[in-house]
Amino acid sequence: MLNYNFQIIYEDSNLIAINKPEGLASIHDKNGQEKDLQTLLQEKLKIKIFVLHRLDKEVSGIILYAKNSSTHKFISKQFENRSINKTYLALVHGIIKEKSGLINKPIKEYGSGRMGINQNGKESKTYYRLLKNYSNHTLLELNPTTGRRHQLRVHLYSIDHPIVGDLRYGEKDIQKNFPRLMLHAKSISFNLTPTKKIFLEANLPENFTTLLKSLE
């Protein structure tokens, strides 16, 4: 059953930040067949909600929405000039031994909606830091400096360490054994106003922590 429950991390008259559960779309579905977070917020707040960025449906974690056009314009400009810092947690297949590294591979969108590494694609950079090695998996902290669709999923798949539970990028026979995509948008920092910087963090959901504990 789809989880319509979500935690409000931060809210003021201009902005709202949500800890999105996995399985809930970030923006309005063109077909309108399923509820999405944007619509749920608009129903709850009784105002128009402006999309600032997106999280894949399968991804949990922090996401921002503006409550007015001026805030939408101000924060969107920060996304465009890459001054917003985003941190993700990902559990990947295999053992990564390097303490940190950079995946610098261009990404291109294909007709099927699938993304892939292609020299004619758009510049895409993902920094990673090793958090913990398990027997057959690795927990990483990820900092993308670009915001391509499926960037983290494609980049990790490209180095033979697909994210656990990713049915799109990975061997389905293996990935289907996990309850979710193990990717979580942990934190974000940005300028709330021209003179005020803000840092927001989203707690890991229970199904994420439970799977991590099962690997101990």
pLDDT(216) > 90 = no
Lowest mean pLDDT among 29-38, 93-102, 106-115, 185-194: 29-38
Res 32: pLDDT:
60
Q: Report whether 49 contacts 38 (CB < 8 A).
A: yes
Active-site residues, by number, are: 56
pLDDT(14) > 50 = yes
CB atoms within 10 A of CB 194: 6
Q: Report whether 168 contacts 101 (CB < 8 A).
A: no
CA atoms 55, 61, 67, 71: torsion sign = negative
pLDDT(79) > 50 = yes
pLDDT, one tens digit per residue, over 29-49 is 666 667 899 999 999 999 999
pLDDT(3) > 70 = no
Give all domains of the chain, ordered by start, each with its CATH number.
7-214 (3.30.2350.10)
What residues contact 177, with CB distance under 8 A and at least 6 apart? none
Looking at every residue in the chain, the average pLDDT score rounds to 94
Chain centroid to Cα 131, Å, comes to: 18
First to last CA, the chain: 28
pLDDT(1) > 50 = no
Res 111: pLDDT:
78
Max mean pLDDT range (23-27, 166-170, 182-186)? 182-186
Res 31: pLDDT:
62
pLDDT over 90 for what percent of the chain? 90
Res 165: pLDDT:
97
Mean predicted confidence (pLDDT) in 84-105: 97
Mean predicted confidence (pLDDT) in 88-98: 97
Mean predicted confidence (pLDDT) in 57-62: 96
Q: Report whether 197 contacts 190 (CB < 8 A).
A: yes
Q: Which helix (H) or strand (E) holds 201?
A: strand 196-201
Q: Report whether 143 contacts 87 (CB < 8 A).
A: yes
What residues contact 29, with CB distance under 8 A and at least 6 apart? 36
